[in-house]
Chain A
Amino acid sequence: MNFTTPPYLTQNVSVQRVMLQVLAALLPGIAIYVWLIGPIILVQIAIATAASLLAEAFMLSLLKKPLGLFLGDGSATVTAWLIALAFPPLAPWWLIVVGALFAIVVAKHLYGGLGQNPFNPAMIAFAVCIVSFPALMSQWPALDRQAGFSEQLALVLGTAPRLDTMSGATPLDALKTALKLGEGNTTVATILADAHNFGYFAGKGWEWVAVAYLLGGLWLWQRRIITWHAPFAFLAGIVLFSGALWLWDPAQFANPVFHLFSGGSMLGAFFIVTDPVSGSTTPRGKLIFGFSAAALAYLIRVFGGYPDGVAFAVLLMNICVPLIDLYTQPPIFGMKSKP
Chain B
Amino acid sequence: MLQLFKFKGGVKPDPKKTPSVQMPIGIAPLPPLLIVPLHQSIGGKPNPLVEAGDRVLKGQLIGGADQWLSSAVHAPTSGTVLAVEERLAAHPSGLPTLSVVIEPDGRDAWIERTPLDYTALEPERVREILRDSGVVGLGGAVFPSHAKLAAAKSVPMDELIINGGECEPFMTCDDILMRERAEGIVLGSGIFRDLLKARRVLVGIEDNKPEAVAAMKAAVEKLGENFEVIAVPTRYPAGGAKQLIRVLTGKEVPASKRSPEMGVQCFNVATAYTAWRAIVHGEPVLSRIVTLTGNVEQPRNWEVLLGTPLKDFVALGKPKSDTDRYLMGGPMMGFELPSLEAPLVKATNCIIAGSPSLFPPPAPEMPCIRCGACADVCPHELQPFEMYWFARARNFGKTQEYNIFDCIECGCCSYVCPSHIPLVQYFRFAKSEIWSREREKNMADAAKARFELRNERDEREKAEKAERLARAAAAKAAVKKAPPESGSEALSGDTSVAVAAAAPLDADAAKKAAIAAAMERARQQRESVQPKNTEGLTVAQRKEIAEIEARRAPLQAEE
Contacts and interface: CB of A to CB of B under 8 A. Distances in A.
25 contacts: A3-B550, A6-B329, A6-B333, A6-B409, A6-B411, A7-B411, A8-B331, A8-B332, A9-B13, A9-B359, A10-B362, A10-B417, A11-B11, A11-B415, A14-B419, A69-B366, A115-B369, A224-B376, A276-B369, A281-B383, A332-B406, A333-B242, A334-B242, A334-B254, A336-B252
Interface stretch (B282-290, B334-342, B455-463, B480-488): B334-342
A150 B92 CA distance: 67
A276 B370 contact: yes
B422 interface: yes
B379 interface: yes
B9 to A, nearest CB: 9
Given A8-B331, A333-B380, A14 B363 contact: yes
A277 B366 CA distance: 13
Nearest to B408: A333
A156 B149 CA distance: 78
A277 B369 contact: yes
B67 to A, nearest CB: 29
A24 B265 CA distance: 49
Interface in A228-264: none
A251 to B, nearest CB: 43
B422 A5 contact: yes
Contacts of B420: 10, 14
B295 to A, nearest CB: 12
Interface in B336-391: 336, 338, 354, 359, 362-364, 366-373, 375-376, 379-383, 385-386
A9 B373 CA distance: 16
> Size class of B's contact patch?
35 or more
A114 B334 contact: no
Interface string B6-49: 01100101100000000000000000000000000000000000
B554 interface: yes
A5 B361 CA distance: 11
Nearest to A13: B418
Given A2-B554, A276-B372, A277-B370, A334 B424 contact: no
A235 to B, nearest CB: 20
A232 to B, nearest CB: 16
Contact of A7 (B256, B332, B372): B332
Interface in B86-116: 92, 94
Nearest to B256: A334
Given A7-B331, A13-B418, A14-B363, A334 B406 contact: yes
Give the 7 A-B CB pairs with smallest separation, nearest first.
A334-B254, A7-B411, A115-B367, A334-B252, A333-B380, A8-B331, A276-B371
B368 A8 contact: no
B418 A15 contact: yes
Interface in A282-339: 282, 329-336
B298 interface: no
B137 to A, nearest CB: 19
A18 B551 CA distance: 30
Contacts of B372: 227, 276, 281
Q: Which of B246, B375, B381, B554 has the most CB of A within 10 A?
A: B381
Given A6-B334, A332-B406, A334-B255, A66 B364 contact: yes
Contact of A69 (B359, B364, B406, B409): B364
A185 interface: no
A333 B8 contact: yes
B323 interface: no
A6 B331 CA distance: 7
A330 B84 CA distance: 52
Prevailing SS type, chain B contact patch: loop
A106 B368 CA distance: 19
Interface of A: 1-11, 13-15, 17-18, 66, 69-70, 73, 75, 113-116, 224, 227, 276-277, 279, 281-282, 329-336
B171 to A, nearest CB: 13
Nearest to A321: B370
Interface of B: 7-8, 11, 13-14, 92, 94, 169, 242, 246, 252-257, 325, 327, 329, 331-336, 338, 354, 359, 362-364, 366-373, 375-376, 379-383, 385-386, 402-403, 406, 409, 411, 414-420, 422, 424-425, 428, 550-551, 554
Contacts of A15: 366, 369, 418-419
Nearest to A225: B371
B248 to A, nearest CB: 15
Contacts of A4: 325, 336, 362
B366 A335 contact: no
B292 to A, nearest CB: 17
Contacts of B376: 224, 227
A227 to B, nearest CB: 7
A332 B403 contact: yes
B418 A17 contact: yes
Nearest to A336: B252
B359 A331 contact: no
A89 B252 CA distance: 55
Given A6-B333, A7-B424, A116-B367, A333 B417 contact: no
Nearest to A17: B418
Nearest to A113: B367
Given A4-B325, A9-B331, A13-B417, 5 more contacts: A5-B335, A6-B411, A9-B13, A276-B371, A333-B381
Residue of B7, B334, B368 with highest tally of chain A CB at under 10 A = B368
Contacts of A279: 370
A114 B371 CA distance: 12
A247 to B, nearest CB: 36
Contact of B367 (A11, A114, A224): A114
Nearest to B552: A3
A9 B170 CA distance: 11
Contact of A13 (B13, B329, B416, B554): B416
Contacts of A5: 335, 422, 424-425, 428, 551
Contacts of B428: 5
A8 B419 CA distance: 15
Contact of B375 (A6, A224, A281): A281
Nearest to B352: A8
A13 B362 CA distance: 12
A7 B414 CA distance: 7
B169 A333 contact: no
A255 B338 CA distance: 68
Contact of A3 (B409, B414, B551): B551
Given A1-B338, A6-B333, A7-B424, A114 B554 contact: no
A113 B366 CA distance: 11
Contacts of B7: 333
Contacts of B414: 6-7, 10
A18 B383 contact: no
A331 B425 CA distance: 24
